[in-house]
Amino acid sequence: MTKARLFRLSVVVGSIFMILLIIVYWDNVGTAHFYLHTTFSRSHSLGVLPTAAQDDDQEALSDVDEFLEKLLSSGLRQNGPFNRKTEQPPLQASSKPGLGNLEENVRGYDWSTHDSRVSLDRDKLQDERRRTLKEFCANSSFTFPTKERLFEDIPNYELNHLIVDDRHGIIYCYVPKVACTNWKRVMIVLSESLLDQGAPYTDPLDIPREHVHNTSTHLTFNKFWRRYGKFSRHLMKIKLKKYTKFLFVRDPFVRLISAFRSKFELENEEFYRRFAIPMLKLYSNHTNVPTSVSEAFEAGLRVSFPDFIHYLLDPRTEKMAPFNEHWRQVYRLCHPCQIDYDFVGKLETLDEDAAHLLQLLNVDKLLHFPPSYRNRTASSWEEDWFAKIPLAWRQQLYKLYEPDFVLFGYPKPEHLLKD
């Protein structure tokens, strides 16, 4: 008699516990999902993505079932974002224009008008960029280090560039030298992660620069372990599935010039000590190098662009430490074959892409993307900058950054790689 009662009691307690567990987790991801659902179904109804039938199939999967399945199947690799890619048949492969074509479309397009054709073209452009990415991730004859790695096997410290906004369900992978200061500002405003005298910032430009780049301002994936322990990977995967993920990229060689200009042409104490001193000693044969950047600049002692390229190509560099984030390849910062990005923006079309993205995220009424007044490194300078770099080095450098060129649809800079 009492045994039966005890059994019944334990069943009831067990059920309550399960229900509580579901409620707690549902709360964590549920709201963001509904938000996203409305955003993207809206764009579908505009006839933007001609794949309604496939999407219906996906939506038919009950979210509760899917969620429970995820919750209960911890450790199962099949649930990674990798698999999600294969669930979706590639979008109309027949109408696929070549890469060169895509670039022309971007350059030749007049963005000044704002009719529905513009938004249609922008959506097509996104489809193109995402398709290029998926094609090369799936192409087994195109390989690079870490390409075949599963999301589960990416160490936590390599997830430190993924900034999460739980309020709107957005994940941004920041790439230094690609408007990342302004996108971080946008993420701070959206996620209300920084307060100004008790109230969240509402204008991205009000946020002081030193706060923008302070890692403690942002919730990034690498911090999940401390917060959620062994559930952290699981939670990341759920968020990766439900949230809108974006990144901004740039021509890899132009990004290197930009990194060099901001870290070695301007007086930067930290970069002088960490990188310029070793470079001067190793490649310019200096023995007595001043310890501070101002002294060095006064003595006319500066790292040259060829020194910087030499440093990147030197096999000893990576042996000491992974590339600094300002010149680390995007594929190593953002894991584009492991994370199924919804939006790939480019610095070359920053203003249009920013407006498009904020619209897609349904936050264009909330804020505007800050205009950039800085002296941006232009692609047309590339030839001048690389003139002093030996041909063999340029070719090695291309190999080093080839995945970024290919995955993000930047044409191979043939004019720099041939005599």
The footprint of ligand NAG (CB under 6 A) covers 135, 139, 141-142, 210, 214, 216, 261, 285, 375
Nearest distance from C-beta of residue 216 to ligand NAG, angstroms: 4
| Residue closer to ligand NAG, measured from CB, 36 or 102 | 102
Nearest distance from C-beta of residue 402 to ligand NAG, angstroms: 9
Q: Are 37 and 61 in contact (CB under 8 A)?
A: no
- Residue 172 contacts by C-beta under 8 Å, 6 or more apart in sequence? 162, 163, 165, 183, 184, 187, 245, 246, 247
Neighbours of 185 (CB within 10 A): 23
| Residue closer to ligand NAG, measured from CB, 142 or 228 | 142
**DSSP assignment letter at 284:** S
CA atoms of 20 and 24, how far apart (whole Å): 6
Nearest distance from C-beta of residue 93 to ligand NAG, angstroms: 10
| Residue closer to ligand NAG, measured from CB, 76 or 299 | 299
CA atoms of 230 and 410, how far apart (whole Å): 39
Nearest distance from C-beta of residue 242 to ligand NAG, angstroms: 29
Q: Which of 114, 151, 193 is nearest to 339 (CA)?
A: 151
Q: Tell the burial category of 121 from Cβ atoms under 10 Å away from its Cβ (0-12, 13-18, 19+).
A: middle
Neighbours of 249 (CB within 10 A): 24
| Residue closer to ligand NAG, measured from CB, 375 or 380 | 375
Nearest distance from C-beta of residue 413 to ligand NAG, angstroms: 16
User: Across the beta sheet with 244-249, what order do the strands follow?
Assistant: 162-165, 170-173, 244-249, 343-346
Nearest distance from C-beta of residue 32 to ligand NAG, angstroms: 26
Q: Which of 167, 107, 49 is nearest to 411 (CA)?
A: 107
CA atoms of 220 and 100, how far apart (whole Å): 35
Nearest distance from C-beta of residue 24 to ligand NAG, angstroms: 28
| Residue closer to ligand NAG, measured from CB, 363 or 407 | 407
Tell me how long the chain is: 419
| Residue closer to ligand NAG, measured from CB, 36 or 137 | 137
| Residue closer to ligand NAG, measured from CB, 160 or 362 | 160
Q: Which of 274, 255, 250, 236 is nearest to 151 (CA)?
A: 236
Nearest distance from C-beta of residue 40 to ligand NAG, angstroms: 28
- Helices (H) and strands (E) counted in the chain, each on its own, are 21, 6
| Residue closer to ligand NAG, measured from CB, 174 or 243 | 174
